[in-house]
Chains A and B, each alone.
Chain A
Amino acid sequence: MNNYSTVKLTKEMQSELIFDFDCGNPALTAFIKSESAVDDMLGTTYVMFSSSNRLIGYYNITTGDIISLKNIRIGGSVYINYLAVDKQYQKQKYHNHDFYASDWLLADCLRRIRDIRDNHIGFAFITLSSTAEGERLYERNGFFPIEEDMMIAKNKGEKTCSPMYFPIDFE
C-alpha cells in the first residue's frame, strides 16, 4: 500500500506552508511549527495538504512499548505522538460513510503503520496517549484503554492524557 493522503514533513514545507494551522489545542498547534516536528530522533511527521497547499491535518509517529507493572515487556508498538486536524475542518463530516477528516487521517496513519509491520519490523500494537477531546476518535475506531496491569511510556506533557492501545491484527 503506497497510496497515502500524507507526505513526510520537511523543513522547507514547514517554513513556507503551515503558518496558519490551528487545531484548537495550543500544544498540538505549536508542535507542528516547532523544530521537533522535523526531528527524526523524536518521531516522523506526516502532513495532509489540500491541492492549494493548505494544511488540513498531521500526525507524528515514533516507537513504543507496552510493559507490565513489573517492568516486563509485553509487546512492541508504534506510538502516535500527535494527531491533529485544523479546527476549521474538525466538524465537517462525510455522512454517507460516517467519518470526519480525523478518521481519514487516522486511517492513513494506520495504513502506514501496517506497511511498516508487513514489510519492515514486527510488532503487535499501536499505542498513544489521548487528550480528553481525542478519546472519542480513538474509541470509535477500535482503540482500548490500557489495562490495569499494563503501562506505556508517556511523553512529557501527557500526564493527564489517557493511554490507549490498538491491536494491529484482527480476528
Chain B
Amino acid sequence: LFVVESYRAMPPKPPDLGDVAMVLPVPMDIPDFALSSQDGNPFGKQRLVGRWSFVFFGYTYCPTVCPATLSVLHQVRRLLGNDPQLVGDMQVVFISVDPERDTLERLATYVSYFDPTFIGVTGTSSELERLTKALGVYYKKAAQISPEEYEIEHTQSVMLFDPQGRLEAIFGNPTDPKAIAKAFRNLRNLKE
C-alpha cells in the first residue's frame, strides 16, 4: 500500500522536449509584480495572461549574451512565422535588471533593433528582486569600471510562461533557434 501511495504522490511526468527545454512537472504560479513596459504602461502578471510568453532577464549594455539570446528569439519567431496560430499568441519579453541605466526609452530602441514585436520591461530594484527571486533568476553587478561602466552577471535562461501566466518551461542554454522552435511547437501540440 505504501508503494501505491508514494506512486500516487509522484507528480505527473512532464513532457520530454529534448535537451533544449526543461518542462516543469506542474506549471509554477508566480506572485504578481509591478513593472513597466517600454511604452510606459504597467507590466504585471496580467500582461502574461492569454499568451505564451518567452521571458528573458538581462541588460542592454550586455556585451554578448543578451544580444545573442535576443537574436535567437527573433529567429525562433521567424521559424514559427509560417504558423500564424503559434506566432499570433506568443510574445517575447526582455526584462532589464539594470534599471539605473536602462530607461524605458533606451529599452524600446534596444529591443526593436532585434525584433519590432519584442517588449522591453523594467522597474524598481525591489520589484525586480521580488520577481527574480520567485523565478530563481540570479543577477549581480560585476566588473565595475566606473559608476556608469559595469557589467552584470545574470542567469541566461529563457523562461516560457503559459497563457495562465504560469512558468511552464525553462530553456537553460538558449542558443539553438531550431531546437527552441521545435520544442515550443511540440509543447503547444501536447497542451492543445
* A and B interact: no
**Which residues of B line the A interface, CB within 8 A?**
none
